[in-house]
Amino acid sequence: MKTAVVQKPQSSIVIEDRPIPEPKSGEVLIRVHACGVCHSDLDVLLGLFPFGKYPIVPGHEVAGVVEKIGPNVNWPAVGDRVGMAWLFSSCGHCKLCTQGDEVLCPFLEVTGVTKDGGYQEYMIAPAAYAAPIPDGLDFAEAGPLMCAGLTVFNGMRNAGYRVGQKVAVIGLGGLGHLAVLYAKAMGARVAVISNTPDKEAEARELGAEHFINTQSRKAADALKDWDGGADVIVATAPSTEAVTDAFSGLAPDGTLVLLGIGPGEVKTSALNLVGGRRHLMGSPSGSRKDIRATLDFSVHNHVVPRITKVPLEDAGKMLELMHAGKLRGRAVLMLR
Ligand SMILES: [Zn+2]
Ligand SMILES: [Zn+2]
């Protein structure tokens, strides 16, 4: 089978021929149809995850079909449509796992970071962690929902978003465009904050009522003028400066949820935080209950990612474009 491998940090992606692996007890072999290209894959290539293992096959936006099941697997069955997200597996018995927050498990294994992911024709997954893909979602659309979709959908829920509130989305890339679509589908008023003025047309087309170009206006000032500020700010761009600049544009009692990981620190004054009873939080990916909720919501509310389909061989090129900030929408590697 064809496999795209990162041998070591700060190297490049190499296409290799490998034997198709055999699923062991409790495992399934997934025939990968599509795998989205996530910003975290670039972080794998750059060696930014201290817990990363190498060599590694990146990719945690996997959508495919169960090709084969190992011993002691009752579910899923051969032929089932399934996906794999960031959460490859967790310990299953720690406090966080038992309360349903397995994505926070200290013994987490991460698809495409500590375990081989979806940049290949077949991948091994623990049967219990495969997510069923609902009818009505094709593989290429389901892929990006496994990370980009899950992260923003779950992030908004974790931030305590309530119907009718104002949501500001920082960045209009793979996560950001989905954040606008989810926020609209959940009945929000939406603003997009971007340093790229030519993204305004796309933001409006996706349903944003307000576009804040940070090259000409401070994000916080523009948000305050938006009927008193955003109730929720969804920060998808990997820039802590953008977060710092937008934070004081939160309405009182508002929450900024950080989803993109960038270098540096988020800064705000104590007065700003305490005086307005504002909240600053982060939210990583999600647990199995969350991926199922994301897929279910997406299919019933017609939230479909904007994608560009490319062959596996273009994986390295896509990550280069992403690194240069030139990748638009979500690139999806098509494996069949
Ligand atoms: Zn991701
Ligand atoms: Zn655990």
Ligand (nearest to CA of 85): 1
Expressed in angstroms and rounded, the spacing between residue 67 Cα and the centre of ligand 1 is 24
| Mean pLDDT across 14-33 | 98
Q: What is the pLDDT of residue 153?
A: 98
Ligand (nearest to CA of 112): 1
Ligand (nearest to CA of 38): 1
| Mean pLDDT across 180-206 | 97
pLDDT tens, position by position, 276-297: 999 999 999 999 999 999 999 9
Q: Tokens standing for 70?
A: 């190992």
Residues with CB under 5 A from ligand 2 (ion): 90-91, 94, 97, 105
| Mean pLDDT across 113-139 | 97
Expressed in angstroms and rounded, the spacing between residue 282 Cα and the centre of ligand 2 is 19
In 3D space, the residue among 257, 223, 222 whose CA is nearest the CA of residue 243 turns out to be: 257
Expressed in angstroms and rounded, the spacing between residue 86 Cα and the centre of ligand 2 is 15
**Residue 65 CB-half CA count within 13 A:** 9
Q: Is the pLDDT of residue 327 over 90?
A: no
Expressed in angstroms and rounded, the spacing between residue 20 Cα and the centre of ligand 2 is 30
Ligand (nearest to CA of 98): 2
Q: What is the pLDDT of residue 329?
A: 78
Q: Tokens standing for 9?
A: 């940090």
Q: Is the pLDDT of residue 50 over 90?
A: yes
Ligand (nearest to CA of 35): 1
Expressed in angstroms and rounded, the spacing between residue 275 Cα and the centre of ligand 1 is 35
pLDDT tier at 223, thresholds 50, 70, 90? very high
pLDDT tier at 262, thresholds 50, 70, 90? confident
| Mean pLDDT across 74-86 | 98
pLDDT tens, position by position, 139-160: 999 999 999 999 999 999 999 9
* Dihedral sign computed on CA atoms, order 328, 42, 159, 300: positive
Ligand (nearest to CA of 261): 1
Expressed in angstroms and rounded, the spacing between residue 96 Cα and the centre of ligand 2 is 6
| Mean pLDDT across 248-272 | 92
Q: Are 87 and 292 in contact (CB under 8 A)?
A: no
Q: What is the pLDDT of residue 328?
A: 78
Expressed in angstroms and rounded, the spacing between residue 284 Cα and the centre of ligand 1 is 9
pLDDT tier at 261, thresholds 50, 70, 90? confident
**Residue 323 CB-half CA count within 13 A:** 14
Expressed in angstroms and rounded, the spacing between residue 128 Cα and the centre of ligand 2 is 14
For residue 215, the Cα-to-chain-centroid distance in whole angstroms is 26
In 3D space, the residue among 87, 35, 2, 17 whose CA is nearest the CA of residue 319 turns out to be: 35
